[in-house]
């Protein structure tokens, strides 16, 4: 619960965190300080508003539970540091808790499973620096997320300077990302880890600079995604493979050679996946993929039941089961839900109307880009530009996972956050390329 003393702490920390953050950026030689300050303040606003909304609309919701469990872990550490450290370094899965700690975790809501316990541990650690204030803790989550997104923003501008004036809209100004990607939530950690993983891969494979540093950052970011939401890592990992291989192919300036090589790579990846499932690793690959699908569909069905029971915000895309064939067959409906719903007429309360307006704006932008590029040129750019290919593949795979794992507009707006920047960057890049006479290949390998 929010406390009155937080009204005093919030403005103090707002000024303090802004000073420290801008000081760090200035020491790094950053020149876009106004944009950085505006983006950081948007994160603060989103974090505070989001946390307040959770306390009003969902007083027993995830944010409150993460904070309360973090506060309890923080108290245990101060009372008995040995037990606190043992709990802090426990994974969170049922079999990782020792018998001596099991009576203690009965007082926690999210000590099990590992993905929720990880968020609680982050909250507990940050609460050491803010007098255990809920609002200030959420501001610290927002501040850390800002630095991760800023790295991502600088990397995108380094690769594609032609969309520099559009990229802030994809990374900092998306309303749902500001509101639900800034607070004490799994989504905040996921979008932050994904941003750093992207930067790490580019630094290691393309720039080949500070490889050890970025390898450590990349591995830790991948670990966070694997623990919290494995389907993000699964979607991103497959897409990255295509990005890297296609970028190597684009070093060849012969367009026909590029297309032929990309076709072979695509066929090769599909063949390897098919052979792996049918012969080499039927019990491993298929099980791993379907484990993610089972988790996604079970989560979706539960959230649908909750929504139908409480606020009527459920949606239906047909019968979905935890098989690869079902995943493929529900792609069109799931992608429509992820990127373009809720529709305006599906809004049943103010907070859902907010999401519907955002979805409508994205749909209008998508239609505008499709109109400017024409369908043929649109898909021609998807094939010829490795980064656009990566964004397209990632959004299709991830968007389908989100569509089948939400079944609730309330959670949908949070779940789709990790792919929205890439979807918008893809549209902005296609729009920028439409202004050129020729279709250039990706500049990623420069």
Res. 397 pLDDT band, cuts 50 70 90? confident
- Say if CB 149 and CB 425 are below 8 A apart: no
DSSP structure class, residue 314: B
Q: Is the pLDDT score of 437 beyond 60?
A: no
Cβ-based neighbour number of residue 31 at 10 Å: 9
The β-bridge partners of 314 are: 408
Closest CA to 63 of 76, 75, 53: 53
Sequence-separated (6 or more) residues with CB below 8 Å from residue 432: 160, 162, 163, 166
Sequence-separated (6 or more) residues with CB below 8 Å from residue 291: none
- Whether cis (ω within 30° of 0) applies to the bond prior to 113 is yes
Give a three-class secondary structure readout of 71-136. HHHHHHHHHCHHHHHHHHCCCCCHHHCCCCCHHHHCCCCCCCCHHHHHHHHHHHHHHHHCCCCHHH
Mean pLDDT confidence for 416-443:
80
Between CA 163 and CA 276 the distance in angstroms is 39
Res. 292 pLDDT band, cuts 50 70 90? very low
Percent of the chain with pLDDT strictly greater than 90: 56
- Its pTM stands at 0.87
Q: Environment class of residue 164 by beta-carbon count within 10 Å: exposed (0-12), middle (13-18) or buried (19+)?
A: middle
Mean pLDDT confidence for 115-129:
95
Give the residue carrying structure tokens 């089961």: 321
Long-range Cβ pairs for the range 9-17 (8 Å, 24+): 9/130, 9/131, 9/133, 9/135, 9/136, 10/48, 10/133, 10/135, 10/136, 10/139, 13/130, 13/136, 13/139, 14/44, 14/139, 17/44, 17/139, 17/140, 17/143
Sequence-separated (6 or more) residues with CB below 8 Å from residue 269: 238, 241, 242
Q: Environment class of residue 311 by beta-carbon count within 10 Å: exposed (0-12), middle (13-18) or buried (19+)?
A: middle
Res. 444 pLDDT band, cuts 50 70 90? very low
Cβ-based neighbour number of residue 431 at 10 Å: 16
DSSP structure class, residue 283: T
Listed range (50-54, 99-103, 215-219, 336-340) with the worst mean pLDDT:
50-54
Q: How many residues does this entry show for the chain?
A: 446
Between CA 277 and CA 300 the distance in angstroms is 25
Give a three-class secondary structure readout of 348-383. CCHHHHHHHHHHHHHHHHHHHHHHHHHHHHHHHHHH
Report residue 50 as tokens: 């989001």
Report residue 263 as tokens: 């076709």
Mean pLDDT confidence for 186-214:
95
Give the residue carrying structure tokens 């990880």: 118
pLDDT given at position 280: 37
Listed range (46-60, 131-145, 167-181) with the worst mean pLDDT:
46-60
pLDDT given at position 324: 61
CA count, 13 A, side-chain hemisphere, 379: 2
> Residue 145 to residues 142, 152, 189, 322: CA-CA distances in angstroms?
5, 11, 7, 33
Between CA 219 and CA 193 the distance in angstroms is 10
pLDDT given at position 275: 54
pLDDT in tens, 13-50: 999 999 999 999 999 999 999 999 999 999 999 999 99
DSSP structure class, residue 184: S
Q: Is the pLDDT score of 200 beyond 70?
A: yes
């Amino acid at each position: 619960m929010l406390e009155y003393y937080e009204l005093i702490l919030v403005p103090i920390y707002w000024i303090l965190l802004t000073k420290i953050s801008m000081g760090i950026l200035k020491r790094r030689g950053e020149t876009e300080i106004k944009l950085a300050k505006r983006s950081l303040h948007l994160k603060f606003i989103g974090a505070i508003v989001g946390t307040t909304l959770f306390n009003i609309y969902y007083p027993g919701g995830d944010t409150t539970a993460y904070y309360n469990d973090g506060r309890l872990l923080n108290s245990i550490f101060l009372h008995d540091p040995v037990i606190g450290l043992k709990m802090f370094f426990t994974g969170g899965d049922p079999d990782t808790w020792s018998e001596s700690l099991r009576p203690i975790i009965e007082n926690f809501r999210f000590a099990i499973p590992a993905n929720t316990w990880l968020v609680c541990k982050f909250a507990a650690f940050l609460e050491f620096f803010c007098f255990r204030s809920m609002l200030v803790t959420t501001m610290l989550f927002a501040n850390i997320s800002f630095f991760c997104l800023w790295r991502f923003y600088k990397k995108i501008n380094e690769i594609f300077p032609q969309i520099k004036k559009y990229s802030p809209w994809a990374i900092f100004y998306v309303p749902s990302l500001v509101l639900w990607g800034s607070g004490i939530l799994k989504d905040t950690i996921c979008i932050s880890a994904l941003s750093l993983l992207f930067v790490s891969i580019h630094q290691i494979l393309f720039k080949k600079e500070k490889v050890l540093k970025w390898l450590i950052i990349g591995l830790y970011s991948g670990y966070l995604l694997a623990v919290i939401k494995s389907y993000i890592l699964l979607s991103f990992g497959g897409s990255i493979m295509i990005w890297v291989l296609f970028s190597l192919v684009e070093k060849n300036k012969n367009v026909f050679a590029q297309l032929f090589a990309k076709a072979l790579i695509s066929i090769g990846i599909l063949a390897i996946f098919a052979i792996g499932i049918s012969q080499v690793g039927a019990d491993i690959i298929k099980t791993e993929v379907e484990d993610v699908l089972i988790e996604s569909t079970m989560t979706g069905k539960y959230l649908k039941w909750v929504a139908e029971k409480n606020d009527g915000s459920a949606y239906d895309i047909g019968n979905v089961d935890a098989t690869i064939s079902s995943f493929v067959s529900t792609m069109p409906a799931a992608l429509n839900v992820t990127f373009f719903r809720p529709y305006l007429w599906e809004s049943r309360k103010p907070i859902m109307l907010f999401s519907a307006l955002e979805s409508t704006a994205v749909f209008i932008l998508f239609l505008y880009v499709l109109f400017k590029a024409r369908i043929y040129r649109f898909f021609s750019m998807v094939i010829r530009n490795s980064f656009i290919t990566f964004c397209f593949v990632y959004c299709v795979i991830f968007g389908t996972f989100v569509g089948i794992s939400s079944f609730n507009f309330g959670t949908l707006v949070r779940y789709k956050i990790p792919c929205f920047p890439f979807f918008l960057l893809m549209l902005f890049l296609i729009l920028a390329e439409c202004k050129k006479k020729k279709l250039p290949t990706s500049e990623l390998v420069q």
